[in-house]
Structure 1
Amino acid sequence: MYKINFLLLLLLSVLNGIYAQQKPMVFNHNETALPGDAFNVQGSGWSKNVELWGTVVKGNENSLSPSFPIKMISADEGCVTGVFPLEMSYRKNVLIAVWVKEGELYSEPFFLNRSRAVTIEFEEVMPGYVFRIFGRNLSLPGCKPIVTFIHPNSKQQHQAVVVKAEPYVLTVQAPFDLEAGTHYQVMVNNGAGGAYGNSLAEERLFAREKSEDPFSLQVPWGSDFVFYKNVYNVRTDSRLKHLAKGDGISNDRISLQDAIDKAHAAGGGVVYLPAGVYKLVFDKGCGLVMRSNVVLKGEGPEQTIIQYGFGIPPSYPDPIGVGGWPDYTNEGVAFLWPLHTKLSGLSDLKVQNVNESGLWRHSMKTICPLNKAKGASGSCFFAVNCHFDLSVAWGISWGYVDKMLIANCNFRSYANITWPWMWHCDGSTNFVIRNNRVFYSAGRFGFSNSFNGIIENNHITRMGDLQAFKGETGGFNIDFSKDMVVMNNLLDVEGDSIVDRNMGETILSQGGNPIGQSLGRVEKASEFSVTDRTQNWNQLRTSDLSTCSVVAIIKGKGAGQWRRIKKNDKHTIWIERPWAVIPDESSNYVVTNWSAEDWLVKGNILKENNRGIWFYCGGTDIAIVENQLNNSEGIYLRSDQRVEVGRYNLMWNAVVEG
């Protein structure tokens, strides 16, 4: 009897120990819920008998505790779905704390309708500078959003001014008392729930000295063009050995290059081209080699015209689309930016490919860097108020450029093969593409392997009469990219309807194909690792610009978690931060890449396109809101499980509304 009692006590003690380890843990949950809305929670440590509890957060509580049960419509061991209460006391502008309850144990609270900054428009701001924060629940009806800058050392708080508030976008004026040279934390609050509604942005903002923007670029780094007063008139400046004619007859290539080189050697300057037609005639190499600290500026896009494409084009040893992009080609290029070029711009001029004979397919490009890192090709490039009449050539191909602006430009291309892309800017970072007018017939607009990009207010028209009938062609192609905003663009078609030939996606992310993916079962794991000796991993993608490799637990203990990969050997992966719940032998994992991470696709109008907004290969933290699709085949979000071909793409935390 005593022995049995002892065993029972021992068994109860063991069970209690196991039970104590089963405190519910929340990994993922919907962030927004209005009265009557369902919301989903994913996590670990509960059974089908799980409960949900909540409380309205007033903001003056010393601590939070559950006060009412939440109706549930489904429950499983890994997921539970509840319904936001419909009672009038729960208005549309309240912060709700929610707990998962299993037995007598509660999870830590998570919040519905709490603001969160996903990405910030710029890396840096000046005192009083106006910028935008993109995120979730940034404003609620009847509440006043708050944005606070926090000094990293003193923790002193500086209040910003919210100029305009929308749920997904805040327009903010930075405080005037920022300390230059400091990286500030940014805290957002939509005005509900007091301090419980505060959340810190992942990104920090660098405060820089306030200074003028001489070319009106409307980006903080626009003030770095401090050499703008040193102007070289290519037709009259006595400092130039060769003066340009600009008569449309003479070859002005040597004269323009001389002016560019002189301005660069002087520490920087503006090469000014008065109204006229400037010919670049060459049968080998490239037209003009751009240099650091040089801006090429004309009288206006229809007054100053630079022409190229005369005679037979040089041979293309490695055309774009054969050797990959970016490539090493410099033959036949109108404007070439060597590696490490900084502070370079085109303004108020027209570039025209006369395409006299043959196919002059190149126009403006950087050279492929050996190390594809942030800014490896160059930094601070702009093209503003320019016209690009490209005939059959590629457009602006700036790969691996940090801080890039293409704004208020017109582009026109008649190429009907699929590789002349109007904007081919893979690896670009901290870039803005805005207010451009484009006519094209084939190709795409590429920004893969990029981060922190804004593409907005562009009107892009596809000429259906000249469409290609095979190959990759359509609208934006943005793979393996993080912190992307695609907003308020109009993408339409003129002429013939676009033929359905497995192409024509207008806003597209399609990275994450089977290359580099692997599936398996955890053999053992620690707080910072996963081991599977049936694998033979090579070096995984850990140092990419944007969305490096991740490992996600998709079944069994810890399902619902994902972590970035820090390093690996043949059988073990080490992660950047610890598992909340350590996987075990019951856990299945996948190694993959996010094709899209932290995206906002908002307010775009798509008309008569073959396909609409398509995410073929999953993603995480994506909001697709307030778009209009007219005869453009809808929105497609694919979580793709095809184990037989080694494919397992995930979609987590996606919102489609409005």
Structure 2
Amino acid sequence: MAKEKTDFSLQPQFAAANLLPGISPVIPKQSNTFGADSLVKPSFAACAETGTENNITLQKTKTYPATLKVSQPKPTPVTPGKPFTPPAPQTTGINTPEIAEWTRTAGPDESVVLTGVNFTQNTRFVVYAHDQIKDAVIQRILPDRAIITLPKDLPKWQMYLLWPVNEAGYGLPVPVNKTETWWVGPDTASPGQTTSVYGCNLAQNNGRGALAAYVYLTSNNGKGYWANVKEVNPYKVDFIIPAVVPPGEYEVWVYNGQGSNFGWAAPQQLTVKKEFKFTGKELNVRDFGASPTASPEANTTAIRKAIDAAKNAPGATVVFPAGTYYISDYLPASANARWRGAGQDKTFIKCAASFSKSAQGMLSGAVKNFWVSNLTFDTNQNFRGAADKPFFMRHSTQVKFQNVGFSCQGYDLFDLHNCRYIFFSGCEFIGKSSFLGKGSQLFYDGNSFKLTNDTDMALHSWGGVGISLTHNTCQDLDNRDLDSGAGWGKGRFFTGNGIWGSCRNTYLGQNTTTDLTVRPAHNPIRHGEDPDQNSGEQFMWEGGEGKWAGFVKAATENTVTIAGYDQKVPDIQYAVITKGKGFGQSRRIIRNENGVITLHQPWRVVPDASSYLVIGDFHDRIVVYKNFLDGKTRAVMSEEHTAAAGIEPFGGVLNFIAAENTLQSLRAGIANFAIQHNIGHDPNFFHLYLNNKFINCRWAIKNWAFPNGGKKVATQGPFMFGVIYRNNVAQGSVMNDVVNEVPKAGAALLNMIIYEHNQFKADKQEVAGLGEQLFYKNKN
């Protein structure tokens, strides 16, 4: 997080160059403010809030262009909910408007950002909801982008279809509030087990009242199975795989109760396997010579003998009775085995003072089907060895730690690079950070993290895919001593970094942090002793840097052809159109054959030579839901810089949702950064921040966009686009509820940002360097 700049205090500026020809801007008489009567009117006269000048006659229209491409499970079950019968299809015409990208979630009197082509001056947007057809209110419109507000008298919480229309005819529709699944985790499970599907709009009512969701599994043999839904929120649905489902490959279909057969999300893949069965055979380490009174060397030898015996009896359990077992070397993790203690506070495995300098960790191995429960590992200030972390588990799979303590003050803990299907529940982590690397399908639920030694963070991923953190807590171990970092962290819980590729499919839900902020520096600073104050972002995504930028040479529905791009590794980078035809669309790259880039899904609007493309390790499809993130008062009140923020997408972050979080005593509750490194820029496109509560922060929301070293960016398009702040509440902000930091001149780096239905105090807002912002029905 970059150091803070002085707050701007310029008057609002609206660039006439950004308006349609012949349209005069509406310029407010005073600085923009948030308040009951502070709506900044649209930047052209035909877009008054009431929408009366946008009405069109629809009742006599019998047909519309082709509706959604309907995806349905086969066999197709009877779909719960009300009928959904949109108008019959007809062929679209030449020069009709087409939508490329759009906001997926909105209710009556809420707004949607759209990109596309052929948005002419007389373009309208038609909304269908069950038997109703209405036109949306146009708040902003340019040839390739628009902001619209859905009619306030639409039925509440339903799936809507949205058609663009101009004098040439209707374009293809897009859905709003349609069920959308992003990933399944774990995506390999057994009959009777609980797994989860993640995405957006997963729940009927989307968190507004009673929730419901439906999950249906289909197989290649033509059979379908309704799953028992266990727990539901708008972004995660837990379901139980039916016991009668045989092993095989399945599609997971999810439906939120709206849209009938049009409302099914595209399927996700699930592998159903027989669960590995433990045999019941138990191997007691004391029977092999281990004892709390034995020497570390004798214990190490005895425990290893028990582990070797388990290798010869797949499914066996190695039992550690209550007591403390000192060891002198690492213990090899064993495949197809369980280790079980008498309790996290009863069985201890500790590094002795004689612990080997050549040890491969304290627990080490690349294993499959390895479970540990009810004991504590303690490095005891004695860990040393060839591995830099005591728990070195790279390339492992199907590993579970349940009710396990990891007492590692002074040390980093885990290395989980290239691991898959790793589960932690009810565990306590005391120490520095755990390195997730490119570990994927990682699940932390109900754990406690206590940070030490001014560690940078508790968990950091370098390109992991499918990571879920739920119901965890994070705090400093003991932050009473300001002169010692022994009991402090730097205020970070989870960091996703693009060093080894995009972090995507991340869910952080219902976690709690307490008093989490970087330790203060001395005045004057004691170099080598004081922690870097540019720390403290509790949930952060960074390193999503642009690696290639330029114009498209050619394109098809599924590809683009470019020059000079040589990355061959699939699924680690994204292509984003930041200007020109197809603007706003982002796609993951799955193949590169001599500059012909294949995408993970087709373009809705195919780019052409006018399309400016940025490719980078951009993060995608992230949900931060219902967390309580707490900092320290010093972070709020100090005049010295600290980067203490609750949620921070630090550039190159796409399709990001933060909903129903409480953010307290932070310098910035949400710090939304769109930046530039060396190539292109790192766009933050299509974010949704809704129903969050900010308490006693310095700033509730901070948007920040600056080019690197003053580079010119006019040819590259906006840095931040399609970001919506909706139904948020700020209380007790020390400075401002919202602050925007952008260059005082140049291109509008923050473009089509919406603030609607929020409860903010009357803050003056800088709008130079911004473009097509909408402030709609916010309250003091």
Where on the TM-score scale, by shorter chain, does this alignment land: which range? 0.7 to 0.9
1:272 deviation in Å?
1.0
Question: Which whole-Å deviations, capped at 9, do the CAs of 1:511-534 have from their partners, x for residues lacking one?
Answer: 2135xx11112233444443444x
1:550 deviation in Å?
2.1
Q: Secondary structure at the match of 1:235?
A: helix
* 1:54 paired residue number: 127
Which residue type is aligned with residue 31 of structure 1? R
Query: In structure 2, how many angstroms separate the alpha carbons of the residues matched to 1:235 and 1:608?
Result: 46
226, 239, 264: which one aligns with 2:311: 264
* 1:476 paired residue number: 494
Which residue type is aligned with residue 551 of structure 1? A
Cα 1:540–1:590 change in 2 (3 A) is: farther
Counterpart contact for 2:490–2:517, Cα < 8 Å: no
Counterpart contact for 1:467–1:498, Cα < 8 Å: no
392, 400, 414: which one aligns with 1:366: 392
* 2:622 paired residue number: 599
Q: Secondary structure at the match of 1:404?
A: strand
Which residue type is aligned with residue 102 of structure 1? N
1:128 deviation in Å?
4.9
* 1:32 paired residue number: 105
Cα 1:579–1:35 change in 2 (3 A) is: closer
Matched, 1:333 2:361: yes
Mean Cα displacement is larger for which, 602-611 or 74-83? 602-611
Query: In structure 2, how many angstroms separate the alpha carbons of the residues matched to 1:367 and 1:412?
Result: 18
* 2:648 paired residue number: 614
Matched, 1:402 2:420: yes
Which residue type is aligned with residue 424 of structure 1? F
628, 634, 639: which one aligns with 2:669: 634
Which residue type is aligned with residue 415 of structure 2? S
1:437 deviation in Å?
1.7
* 2:136 paired residue number: 70
Cα 1:21–1:566 change in 2 (3 A) is: farther
Cα 1:112–1:581 change in 2 (3 A) is: closer
Counterpart contact for 1:231–1:272, Cα < 8 Å: yes
1:411 deviation in Å?
2.3
Matched, 1:461 2:534: no
Cα 1:290–1:77 change in 2 (3 A) is: same
Q: Tell me the matched-pair count.
A: 563
Mean Cα displacement is larger for which, 107-116 or 122-131? 122-131
Matched, 1:169 2:187: no
Matches within 5 A, 1:399-548: 399-413=417-431, 420-421=432-433, 423-441=434-452, 442-444=455-457, 445-462=459-476, 463-464=478-479, 465=481, 466-467=484-485, 474-479=492-497, 480-493=502-515, 501-514=533-546, 517-533=547-563, 535=564, 537-542=565-570, 544=571, 548=572
TM-score by length of 2: 0.67
Query: In structure 2, how many angstroms separate the alpha carbons of the residues matched to 1:53 and 1:146?
Result: 28
Which residue type is aligned with residue 111 of structure 2? A
Counterpart contact for 2:389–2:414, Cα < 8 Å: yes
Cα 1:407–1:144 change in 2 (3 A) is: closer
Matches within 5 A, 1:127-166: 127-137=191-201, 138-140=203-205, 145-166=212-233
293, 297, 320: which one aligns with 1:273: 320
Mean Cα displacement is larger for which, 631-640 or 72-81? 631-640
Cα 1:380–1:352 change in 2 (3 A) is: same
Q: Secondary structure at the match of 2:515?
A: strand
1:502 deviation in Å?
0.6
Question: Which whole-Å deviations, capped at 9, do the CAs of 1:366-394 have from their partners, x for residues lacking one?
Answer: 366xxxxxxxx121112211222213122
TM-score by length of 1: 0.78
Answer 1 or 2: higher relative contact order, Cα 8 Å, separation at least 6.
Answer: 2
Counterpart contact for 1:353–1:360, Cα < 8 Å: no
* 2:176 paired residue number: 112
Query: In structure 2, how many angstroms separate the alpha carbons of the residues matched to 1:43 and 1:72?
Result: 15
Matched, 1:253 2:300: yes
Q: Secondary structure at the match of 1:349?
A: strand
Aligned-residue CA RMSD (Å): 3.0
1:641 deviation in Å?
4.2
Counterpart contact for 1:143–1:190, Cα < 8 Å: no
Query: In structure 1, how many angstroms separate the alpha carbons of the residues matched to 2:446 and 2:94?
Result: 55
* 2:147 paired residue number: 81
Q: Secondary structure at the match of 2:334?
A: coil
Structure 1: which 5+ runs fail to align? 1-18, 59-65, 210-222, 315-329, 369-376, 414-419
Cα 1:332–1:146 change in 2 (3 A) is: closer
Report percent identity of matched pairs: 20
1:503 deviation in Å?
1.0
Counterpart contact for 1:96–1:113, Cα < 8 Å: yes
Counterpart contact for 2:184–2:198, Cα < 8 Å: yes
Q: Secondary structure at the match of 2:674?
A: coil
Q: Secondary structure at the match of 1:199?
A: coil
Query: In structure 2, how many angstroms separate the alpha carbons of the residues matched to 1:619 and 1:496?
Result: 24
1:103 deviation in Å?
1.4
Cα 1:144–1:253 change in 2 (3 A) is: closer
Which residue type is aligned with residue 511 of structure 1? G
Matched, 1:648 2:681: yes
1:460 deviation in Å?
1.1
* 1:62 paired residue number: none
Question: Which whole-Å deviations, capped at 9, do the CAs of 1:582-634 have from their partners, x for residues lacking one?
Answer: 32222211111222x22211111111162221111232222111111111221
Query: In structure 1, how many angstroms separate the alpha carbons of the residues matched to 2:97 and 2:139?
Result: 19
Counterpart contact for 2:393–2:419, Cα < 8 Å: no
Question: Which whole-Å deviations, capped at 9, do the CAs of 1:376-430 have from their partners, x for residues lacking one?
Answer: x1211122112222131221222221111111112223xxxxxx41x22222222
Counterpart contact for 1:608–1:631, Cα < 8 Å: yes
Q: Secondary structure at the match of 1:86?
A: coil
1:461 deviation in Å?
0.9
Which residue type is aligned with residue 648 of structure 1? H
* 1:218 paired residue number: none
